[in-house]
């Protein structure tokens, strides 16, 4: 897991926030050695995974736009 996926710095306030990402407070799944059953995801957990995935995709698109603007070479004047 990438550290950037756990912490999010809000560009407006420059504070660390938790925007649609993993939250340790909500994670109550502790596995014990005796637990042999396969865990099942609830709809809430699936929804949180979807939101996290969407946030990651949006972040990648913003980074791609930034890199494109950084290395963009304008067309020569004709």
Per-residue pLDDT of the chain (78 residues; tens, 9 = 90+): 455 555 556 666 666 655 566 666 766 677 788 878 777 888 988 998 898 899 889 899 999 999 998 898 888 876
In a domain, 12, yes or no: no
In a domain, 32, yes or no: no
In a domain, 58, yes or no: yes
In a domain, 57, yes or no: yes
CB within 8 Å of 7: residues ≥ 6 apart: 16, 18, 21
In a domain, 48, yes or no: yes
Rounded Cα distance, 62 and 11, in Å: 12
Rounded Cα distance, 43 and 15, in Å: 30
pTM value is 0.50
Host domain of residue 52: 44-70
Domain count, the chain: 1
């Amino acid at each position: 897991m990438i550290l950037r996926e756990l912490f999010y710095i809000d560009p407006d306030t420059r504070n660390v926030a938790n925007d649609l990402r993993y939250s340790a407070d909500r994670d109550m799944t502790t596995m014990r050695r005796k637990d042999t059953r396969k865990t099942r995801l609830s709809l809430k957990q699936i929804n949180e995974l979807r939101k996290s995935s969407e946030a990651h995709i949006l972040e990648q698109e913003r980074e791609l736009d930034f890199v494109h603007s950084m290395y963009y070479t304008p067309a020569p004047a004709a």
